Amino acid sequence: MKLENKKVAIIGFGLTGRAVVDFLLKKKVNIAVFDEKSSRVFENIRGLKEKGVRFYFGPFNFEK
């Protein structure tokens, strides 16, 4: 399966979410990460942002 330039949303940036981000970056995927926690909880996201990963933190209401 060709993943390059596909768009992927990752829900949760815990251990598994971070591992998925690392894997998908190697495949040149467009990544958006969603997590209800504050961005201050996570370390080293600056480098990922520089690689094009988009982050969305805070409470979400997906029922709208």
Digit-coded pLDDT (tens) for 17-37: 999 999 999 999 999 999 998
pLDDT at 64: 60
Please give the tally of structural domains in the chain: 1
User: How far apart, in whole angstroms, are the C-alpha atoms of residue 8 and residue 32?
Assistant: 6
Query: Residue 35 sits in which domain range?
Result: 7-57
Classify residue 57 by burial, with Cβ atoms within 10 Å: 0-12, 13-18, 19+.
middle
C-alpha R_g of the chain:
12
16 belongs to a structural domain:
yes
1 belongs to a structural domain:
no
Output the domain CATH number for residue 44.
3.40.50.720
Asked whether the predicted pLDDT for residue 4 surpasses 80, the reply is yes
Total-model pTM? 0.86
Q: Looking at this protein, which amino acid is placed at residue 55?
A: F
pLDDT tens, position by position, 42-59: 877 999 999 999 999 988
63 belongs to a structural domain:
no
Asked whether the predicted pLDDT for residue 13 surpasses 90, the reply is yes
Instruction: Compute how many other C-beta atoms are within 10 angstroms of the C-beta atom of residue 35.
Output: 19
